[in-house]
Amino acid sequence: MVGLGIMGSAISGHLLTAGFDVLGSDVDPAAVDALVARGGRAATLADLAREADVVVTSLPGPEAALAVCGELGGVTVVETSTLSPAVKNRCRELIEAAGGTLLDCPISGTGAQARTRDLVVLGSGDAEVFATVRPVLEAFARSVQHLGAFGNGTTMKLVANLLVSIHNASTAEAFALGTAAGLDPKLLFDVIRDGAGGSVIFDKRGPLMVDRTYRPATAKVSMFLKDVALVRELAGTVGVTTPVLDATLPLYARAADEGWADADAAALFEILRGDER
């Protein structure tokens, strides 16, 4: 396992529970120590390239992904990070040049969902290799989908992230409106989630807005800034306008500027709540 952050630490925990021998690598020694404390083993990238049958990567951005793929060599890599199609393709080229196979397998779900194994793997790439790694994926996800040709997983993830990014903002806006108009936030959450206005994101972000507690994050504001940019890049490539998504970008940027970059995206409520005062 390369990358032991919010998602990677949860994934590695489920793999350990399922009985896999998990070797972990991360730039943060504390994250590696936490894995070792749970029964995993610390490893370098060279160790993983030499010993691992399958390497799962969960990385924060393109620089890390390209650096890691450049060092892993000829292994089977399950790449779960949210990256642009161009970066995923370059990662595949690096792995294939060394004799390995890279599967494009981004994940739909939050950090909280990762902890409860409530994830969906959006897999794509070589179908035969995918079949061999399915038991690994099923150990940490409730649903494992193979979407065909390499890159389809990333495309599906970006489409999903368009919706999630909008739902984060619309949930915050609903809480800002309702509480400013005098509704109790817990009552607002309980009633809306039971009707047509509810959503998975409303269920996940709503309780954080009720409590106004945004750390530790299940999905950071800074991550959504990155993801919105990736969605807009894809939309520009295929010639589709995204006016609703575009309207959320200033809100995420403002949240980051006002000290919420490392907080959960539910902190958008604080920005809109401030606007109501």
> Would you name the residues annotated as active-site residues?
157
CA distance 82 to 222: 13
Q: What do you get for the CA distance between the two ends of the chain, in Å?
A: 46
CA distance 144 to 151: 16
Peptide bond into 243 cis (omega under 30): no
Q: How many CA atoms lie within 13 A of 225 on its CB side?
A: 18
Q: Which residues of 222-251 are buried (b: 16+ CB within 10 A; e: fewer)?
A: bbbbbbbebbbebbeeeeeebeebeebbeb
Contact call for residues 41 and 22 (beta carbons, < 8 A): yes
| Count of CB atoms situated within 10 Å of the CB of 91 | 25
Q: Which amino acid is at 265?
A: A
| Count of CB atoms situated within 10 Å of the CB of 215 | 11
Of 42, 271, 40, 66, nearest in space to 172 by CA: 271
In order, the DSSP letters of 164-191 are HHHHHHHHHHHHHHHHHTT--HHHHHHH
